[in-house]
């Protein structure tokens, strides 16, 4: 049978234009259809038992080998746990271990808590601790690793739950240091930041999009401890502060942390929003460059002291930092365990001018540098300080670096000459000792590879810190630490310093956040009302 | 036609290759050290050397480039330094969000700006047209950051009817879409207005009108049909640009698109991630342009692809 159409010479077949049309449509559908089909749909609105956190930085992993910023710790610890943790007052508290004590100067005896298990029900073992320590030890560029004078070795004992952590030299702060080593099943642990895997914490990962920094944590039904009050915790990355503030005000976010003074001011007094603040453990200093030639005025501690008199710290804290920081009264934050007050910065410009003249440094020209975002209001602080120094005849050139730039090279004295750097240094262990070791324990040997912090090399001070670090007697260690801090203060390492407060805003329905000085908190304590 | 298509595909591959080469070189010439950005601030020089070795940055530039091309051919775009995951996966985590926003913003732009342009053409040189012009240009002149924050404050805080950030519900798409679309309205509506004014004054329109063609058909089929080529070109170009991300809007609305990802990658000197983002978004943008070109003969029968006029 033949159709009429087929016989009709005027009925178009597949025309060139038709082919083109269908080809273009097909191509277009292929090009856009695929991605559109994969388009992320909405992630869903939070339920009444859901706490939503808005983080300032993207949480790329729930492992802390490399990615360890304050708020990240809060979330990471809800999934993966350590043998210990830092609790209120920055005191160590047992978590996976029910015993953690120094039984020899170079050995700590640890016993795993009975019944501790991962989210899949498998038990936490000594092998997991051993593997975790080795994996952390193999990671390049880790900040945590720098806190350990040496990584302990695991020595097994006859009891399957008990082991010893052995070091070559005494490490009397090991219970605090181990709070940073998160335990993962040995066969799943790798010397890199883990993107997936199990933890023993009260929450397990229900959904994760590490690229977008979004996670949904659900209550771990096999959690070995008390059932956590929250059903779900949602973690979102909201980089822009004004957006975080709006999202908190609208109730979309429940908790936002690491607020700037401006944001805190906007949120103060708003109905349904509460602020929590406390002293932090990060010290921010305008640190001198200690790599200056001996005949340079800044190599003279009297000149460094004279310059410090030019700075009106109170005005900076009040007017520039809007009371979001406390004055620095030592060489490390004084709320750290082992920290002591060593003095304070006094504003006396007349004295600054006179002393500078007396020491032949009345016509100084200095270069200040810092990286954007090193601390809240960094540029304003630096400009104000430059202005104050101008009042005593010191001319300052400001040099600001963008994140990712070459600042490390400059810090290490490889980028060029500078005089003062705006720098923040954290102490996630809650100890003065680790802060002192990181900043003031420079030696000539370290300086050869430019590892001494800003070139700060004072052999007596380095020796004093070293002695304190291996002192197993608590009282004696505190005494040694106090003496060394006083000695550091007398070297006038910084032009000025302050301790930023931890600042967190929460919706009224969120209770018992218990913000720690480390700017993190225990999610198992948090509960929602209403 | 197949020859034309092949030639255009060849050109596209060459464009992507040249773009990648330029990006590969430029990011390495820019100040900054990925090892320093990756490591703790207290990292020793030795440690930095080890990290550079781990990333393969201790090899000569030409060797690095060769390895990059070899891996690229085998589909490996490298591992992101900051995400510790394959760079391709990280970009693909974010790309759907960017495409969602781009598609919805372009759809809103076309739905609003085309009728508006037609309306303006039919009322050319009247006060009402002037008013519409002022409105669209005001929208275009407002910084997107400001527009976004104002919309947020208005519709997420003062009248809390829409979500403030992210993509937690379909409502979350509304404010970012409007913010992006507002910037496009002036461009597209003015272009439509110009083309339509010319078309409506053309002899064929007069002839059609004299033959009794209805005004509606005259405007929407005859005149708009003849204005379609420049309109599709402009919309296609804007769409391709949006695929590269709208950084400011993404930041304001915490929209996890590729724009903010590439900013972060630049800050952390995450070379594999920068390169992967550029490769994927550039390929998509070029593909869109190619599709636009293929649409021309459909819109205007006088166009013959691959043949000189």
Question: Does any domain span residue A179?
Answer: yes
CATH code: domain of residue A512: 3.40.190.10
Q: With a threshold of 0.85, tell me whether the complex ipTM lies above it.
A: no
Task: Compute the nearest-CA separation of A103 from chain B (Å).
Answer: 32
Q: Alpha helices, DSSP H only, in A126-258?
A: 126-137, 143-147, 174-177, 241-249
**Token pair recorded at residue B186:** 């002036």
Nearest-neighbour CA in chain A from B172: distance (Å) = 8
Answer with the residue of higher pLDDT: A159 or B4: A159
Do B267 and A403 lie within an 8 Å CB cutoff?
yes
Rounded mean pLDDT of B8-12? 87
pLDDT of B48: 86
Q: Is residue A322 part of a domain?
A: yes
Give domain status of residue A367, yes or no: yes
* pLDDT per position as a tens digit, A276-319: 988 899 999 999 999 999 999 999 999 999 999 999 999 999 99
Top pLDDT among A196 and A455 is at A455
What average pLDDT does the segment B22-43 reach?
85
Distance from CA of B94 to the nearest CA of A (A): 6
Q: Please give the pLDDT value at position B246.
A: 85
Mean pLDDT (chain A, rounded): 89
Question: A490 — alpha (psi -120 to 50), left (phi > 0) or beta?
Answer: alpha
pLDDT at residue B170 above 90? no
Quick check: B33 and A409 CB within 8 A? Answer: yes
Chain A residues with beta carbon closer than 8 angstroms to that of B32:
404-406
What is the dihedral sign for C-alpha A107, A113, A115, A119? negative
Contact between B166 and A214 using a beta-carbon 8 Å cutoff: yes
Domain count for chain A, please give it: 3
| pLDDT digits 0-9 by tens, B256-308 | 899 889 888 988 899 999 999 999 999 999 999 888 888 888 887 777 666 55
- Interchain proximity B156–A252, CB inside 8 Å: yes
**pLDDT band with cut points at 50, 70 and 90 for residue A19:** low
Domain check: are A379 and A475 in the same one? yes
Report residue A2's pLDDT band, with 50, 70 and 90 as the boundaries: very low
**What does the pLDDT read at residue B18?**
94
Cβ within 8 Å, pair A408-B84? no
| Predicted TM-score (pTM) of this structure | 0.82
Buried b (16+ CB within 10 A) or exposed e, A300-321: beebbbbbbbbbbbeebbeebb
A94 contacts: CB under 8 Å, gap ≥ 6? A83, A84, A100, A113
Residues 6+ apart with CB under 8 A from B46: A449
pLDDT digits (tens, 9 = 90+) for A62-102: 888 876 667 788 999 999 999 999 988 889 999 999 999 99
The CATH number for A423's domain is 3.10.105.10
Question: Between chains, do B167 and A43 touch, taking CB under 8 Å as contact?
Answer: yes
Cβ–Cβ below 8 Å for B291 and A252 = no
**CA–CA dist A249, B229 (Å, integer):** 46
3-state secondary structure of A397: strand
Other C-beta atoms lying within 10 Å of the C-beta of residue B264? 22
Counting residues of chain B whose pLDDT is more than 90, the rounded percentage is 39
- Of residues A368, A204, A217, the one with CA closest to residue A286: A368
**A247 to A71, A232, B155, B254: CA distances (angstroms):** 18, 19, 11, 10
Interface of B with A in 272-291 (CB under 8 A): 284, 287-288, 291
- State yes or no: pLDDT of B70 exceeds 80: yes
Same domain, A167 and A264: no
- Per the CB < 8 A criterion, the answer to whether A206 and A196 are in contact is no
Specify the range with the lowest mean pLDDT, choosing from A3-7, A144-148, A452-456: A3-7
Q: Please list every residue in chain B whose beta carbon sits closer than 8 Å to the beta carbon of residue A18.
A: none
Residue B245 gets which letter from DSSP? -
Of A190, A219, A251, which residue constitutes the final position of a domain? A190
pLDDT one-digit tens code per residue, A333-356: 999 999 999 999 899 999 999 999
- Sort out which chain A residues have CB atoms less than 8 A from B288's CB and list them: 31
Do A91 and A108 have their domain in common?
yes
Please report, for residues A389, A413, B99, B283, the alpha-carbon distance to residue A418 in angstroms, rounded to integers and kept in the order given. 16, 8, 46, 44
Whether the CB of A31 is below 8 Å from some CB of chain B: the reply is: yes
Q: At what angle do helices B271-299 and B87-122 cross, to 10 degrees?
A: 40
Taking an 8 Å cut-off on Cβ atoms, the answer to whether B1 and A58 are in contact is no
Q: Cβ B269–A46 below 8 Å, yes or no? A: no
- Joined tokens for residue A502: 């931890």
Q: Give the contacts of A394 (CB within 8 A, at least 6 positions apart).
A: A307, A310, A356, A364, A365, A366
pLDDT tens, position by position, B128-144: 888 988 888 888 888 88
CB pair distance less than 8 Å for B252 and A243: yes
Contact B152, B231 (CB under 8 A): no
Given CB atoms, is A14 within the 8 Å cutoff of chain B? no
Q: Report the pLDDT value the prediction gives residue B41, as an integer from 0 to 100.
A: 73
Task: Specify whether A330 is located in the same domain as A417.
Answer: yes
- Is there a contact between A408 and B93 if contact means CB atoms under 8 Å apart? no
The answer on A115 and A72 residing in a single domain is no
Q: Considering only alpha carbons, which residue of chain B is nearest residue A435?
A: B42
- What token pair was written down for B95? 């790309």
Percent of chain A predicted with pLDDT > 90:
64
Yes or no: say if B231 and B113 are a contact pair by the CB < 8 Å rule.
no
Tell me whether B300 touches chain A (CB under 8 Å). no
- What's phi and psi for A325, nearest 5 deg? -145, 160
Total residues found in chain B within this entry: 309
Tell me if A43 and B256 make a contact (CB, 8 A cut-off): no
CA distance A73 to A82: 11
The pLDDT score that the predictor gives to residue A10 is: 45
A389 and A476 share one domain? yes
How far, in Å, CA of A345 to CA of A426, rounded?
A: 21
Angle between helices A349-358 and A301-308 (to 10 degrees): 160
Any A CB within 8 A of B164 CB: yes
Asked whether the beta carbons of residue A404 and residue B37 sit closer than 8 angstroms, the reply is yes
Question: CB count, 10 Å around CB of B86?
Answer: 17
What is the pLDDT at residue B309?
44
Q: Which of A45, A238, A409 sits opposite B169 (nearest CB)?
A: A45
Q: Tokens for B34? A: 């990925």
d(CA A488, CA A141): 28
Please indicate if any CB of chain B lies within 8 Å of the CB of A142: yes
What is the residue range of A167's domain?
81-190
The pLDDT of residue B82 is above 90: no
Tokens standing for residue B148? 């976004």
Separation between Cα atoms, residue A164 and residue A167, nearest integer Å: 10
Q: CATH class for domain B92-268?
A: mainly alpha
Q: What are phi and psi of A230, to 5 degrees?
A: -85, 140
Inter-chain touch B36–A406, beta carbons under 8 Å: yes
DSSP per-residue string spanning A329-372? -SSS-TTSBT----------HHHHHHHHHHTT-TT-EEEEEEET
Q: Identify the closest residue of chain A to B96 by CA–CA distance.
A: A39
**Domain assignment present for A397:** yes
Question: Is A434 a residue whose pLDDT tops 80?
Answer: yes
Chain B residue with CA closest to A250: the answer is B157
Indicate the residue of B95, B168, B253 with minimum beta-carbon distance to A44. Answer: B168
Report d(CA A526, CA B4) in Å as an integer. Answer: 64
Residue the block writes with tokens 């930095």: B48
Is the Cβ–Cβ distance between A428 and A281 less than 8 Å?
A: yes
**302-361 in chain A: CB under 8 A from chain B:** none
pLDDT of residue A68: 66
Using the Cβ of A139 and the Cβ atoms of chain B, whether some distance falls under 8 Å is answered with no
Contact assignment for A212 to B149 by CB distance below 8 Å? no
DSSP B154: I
pLDDT tens, position by position, A461-509: 999 999 999 999 999 999 999 999 999 999 999 999 999 998 899 999 9
- Do A264 and A288 belong together in one domain? no
Those residues whose C-beta lies under 8 Å from the C-beta of residue A406, and which sit 6 or more positions away, are A415, B31, B32, B33, B36
Where a domain ends, among A141, A170, A190?
Answer: A190
Place A110 in a pLDDT band, splitting at 50, 70 and 90: very high
Tell whether B35 is within 8 A of chain A (Cβ).
yes
Cβ-Cβ contacts under 8 Å, B92 against chain A:
211
Together in a domain, A140 and A186: yes
pLDDT at B100 over 60: yes
DSSP A212: T
Count of other CB atoms within 10 angstroms of residue A336: 25
User: Which residue has 């999009």 as its token pair?
Assistant: A209
Evaluate whether B70 touches B79 at the Cβ level (below 8 Å): no
The reply to whether A373 and A473 lie within a common domain is yes
Of A166, A190, A214, the position where a domain reaches its end is A190
Looking at the fold, whether A96 and A232 belong to one and the same domain comes out as no
Strand order in the sheet with A107-112: A97-104, A107-112, A162-166, A153-156
Task: Please tell me whether residues A409 and A520 are part of one structural domain.
Answer: no
The verdict on a CB contact (< 8 Å) between A243 and B260 is no
A403 touches chain B (CB under 8 A): yes
Give A399's strand partners: A369
- CA–CA distances in Å: residue A46 to residues A76, A235, A236, B250: 20, 11, 12, 21
Residue A393 sits at the chain B interface (C-beta within 8 Å): no
As a whole number, mean pLDDT of residues B237-262 equals 88
Please tell me the distance from the alpha carbon of residue B285 to that of residue B15, in angstroms, as a whole number.
Answer: 11
B194 burial via Cβ count (<10 Å: 0-12, 13-18, 19+): middle
A173, A364, B173 from A108: Cα distances, Å = 10, 53, 55
CB contact under 8 A, A411 and B41: yes
Mean pLDDT of A102-111: 96
- The vertex-A83 CA angle with A78 and A89, nearest 5°, equals 75
Looking at chain B, the whole-number percentage of residues with pLDDT higher than 70 is: 98
Residues A88 and A74 in one domain: no
| CB proximity list for B193: less than 8 A, separation 6 or greater | B117, B118, B120, B121, B124, B129
Query: Is residue A364 in some structural domain?
Result: yes
């Amino acid at each position: 049978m033949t159709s009429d159409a087929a016989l009709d010479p005027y009925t178009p077949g597949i025309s060139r234009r038709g082919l083109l049309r269908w080809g273009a449509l097909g191509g277009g559908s292929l090009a856009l259809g695929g991605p559109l089909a994969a388009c992320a749909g909405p992630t869903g609105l939070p339920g009444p038992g859901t706490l939503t956190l808005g983080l300032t930085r993207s949480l790329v992993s729930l492992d802390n080998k490399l990615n360890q910023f304050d708020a990240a710790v809060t979330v990471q610890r809800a999934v993966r746990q350590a043998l210990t943790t830092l609790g209120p007052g920055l005191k160590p508290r047992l978590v996976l271990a029910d015993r953690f004590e120094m039984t020899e100067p170079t050995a700590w005896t640890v016993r795993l808590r009975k019944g501790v298990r991962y989210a899949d029900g498998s038990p936490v073992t000594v092998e997991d601790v051993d593997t975790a320590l080795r994996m952390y030890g193999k990671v390049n560029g880790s900040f945590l690793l720098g806190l350990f004078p040496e990584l302990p070795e695991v020595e097994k004992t006859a009891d399957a739950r008990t082991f010893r952590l052995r070091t070559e030299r005494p490490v009397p702060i090991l219970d605090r240091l181990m709070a940073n080593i998160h335990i993962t099943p040995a066969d799943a642990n790798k010397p890199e930041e883990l993107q997936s895997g199990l933890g023993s914490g009260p929450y397990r990962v229900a959904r994760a999009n590490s690229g977008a920094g979004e996670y949904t944590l659900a209550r771990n039904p096999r959690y070995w401890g008390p059932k956590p009050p929250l059903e779900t915790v949602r973690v979102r990355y909201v980089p822009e502060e004004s957006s975080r503030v709006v999202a908190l005000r609208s109730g979309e976010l429940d908790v936002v942390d690491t607020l700037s003074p401006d944001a805190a001011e906007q949120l103060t007094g708003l109905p349904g929003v509460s602020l929590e603040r406390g002293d932090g453990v990060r010290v921010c200093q305008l640190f001198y460059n200690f790599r200056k030639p001996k005949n340079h005025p800044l190599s003279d501690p009297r000149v460094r002291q004279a310059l410090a008199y030019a700075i009106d710290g109170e005005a900076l804290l009040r007017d520039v930092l809007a009371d979001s920081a406390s004055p620095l009264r030592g060489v490390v934050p004084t709320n750290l365990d082992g920290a002591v007050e060593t003095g304070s910065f006094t504003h006396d410009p007349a004295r600054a001018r006179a002393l500078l003249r007396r020491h032949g440094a009345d016509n100084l020209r200095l270069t200040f540098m810092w990286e954007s975002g090193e601390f809240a209001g960094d540029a304003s602080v630096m400009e104000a300080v430059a202005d104050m120094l101008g009042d005593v005849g010191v001319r300052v050139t400001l040099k600001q670096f963008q994140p990712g730039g070459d600042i490390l090279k400059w810090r290490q004295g490889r980028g060029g000459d500078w005089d003062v750097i705006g720098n923040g240094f954290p102490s996630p262990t809650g100890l003065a000792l680790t802060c002192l070791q990181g900043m003031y324990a420079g030696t000539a040997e370290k300086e050869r590879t430019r590892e001494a912090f800003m070139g700060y090399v004072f052999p007596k001070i380095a020796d004093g810190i070293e002695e304190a670090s291996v002192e197993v007697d608590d009282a004696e260690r505190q005494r040694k630490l106090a003496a060394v801090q006083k000695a550091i203060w007398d070297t006038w390492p910084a032009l000025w310093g302050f301790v930023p407060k931890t600042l967190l805003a929460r919706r009224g329905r969120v209770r018992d956040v218990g913000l720690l000085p480390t700017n993190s908190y225990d999610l198992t304590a948090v509960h929602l009302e209403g | 036609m197949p020859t034309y298509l092949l030639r255009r595909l060849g050109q596209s591959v060459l464009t992507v290759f040249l773009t990648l080469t330029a990006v590969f070189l430029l990011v390495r010439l820019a100040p900054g050290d990925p090892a320093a950005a990756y490591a703790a601030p207290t990292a020793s020089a030795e440690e930095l050397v080890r990290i550079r070795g781990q990333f393969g940055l201790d090899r000569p530039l030409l060797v690095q480039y060769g390895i990059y091309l070899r891996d690229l051919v085998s589909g490996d775009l490298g591992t992101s330094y900051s995400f510790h995951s394959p760079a391709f996966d990280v970009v693909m985590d974010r790309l759907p969000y960017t495409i969602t926003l781009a598609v919805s913003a372009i759809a809103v732009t076309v739905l609003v700006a085309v009728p508006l342009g037609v309306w303006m053409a039919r009322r050319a040189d009247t006060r009402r047209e002037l008013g519409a012009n002022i409105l669209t240009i005001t929208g275009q002149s407002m910084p997107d950051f400001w527009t976004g924050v104002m919309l947020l404050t208005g519709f997420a805080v003062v009248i809390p009817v829409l979500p403030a950030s992210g993509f937690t519900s379909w409502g979350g798409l509304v404010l970012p879409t409007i913010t992006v679309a507002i910037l496009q309205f002036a461009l597209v509506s003015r272009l439509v207005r110009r083309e339509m004014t010319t078309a409506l004054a053309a002899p064929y329109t007069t002839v059609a009108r004299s033959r009794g063609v209805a005004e509606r058909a005259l405007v929407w089929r005859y005149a708009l049909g003849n204005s379609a080529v420049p309109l599709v070109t402009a919309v296609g170009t804007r769409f391709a640009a949006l695929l590269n991300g709208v950084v400011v809007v993404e930041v304001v609305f915490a929209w996890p698109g590729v724009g903010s990802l590439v900013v972060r990658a630049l800050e952390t000197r995450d070379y594999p991630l920068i390169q992967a983002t550029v490769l994927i978004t550039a390929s998509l943008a070029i593909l869109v342009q190619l599709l636009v070109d293929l649409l021309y003969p459909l819109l205007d029968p006088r166009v013959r692809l691959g043949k000189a006029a």
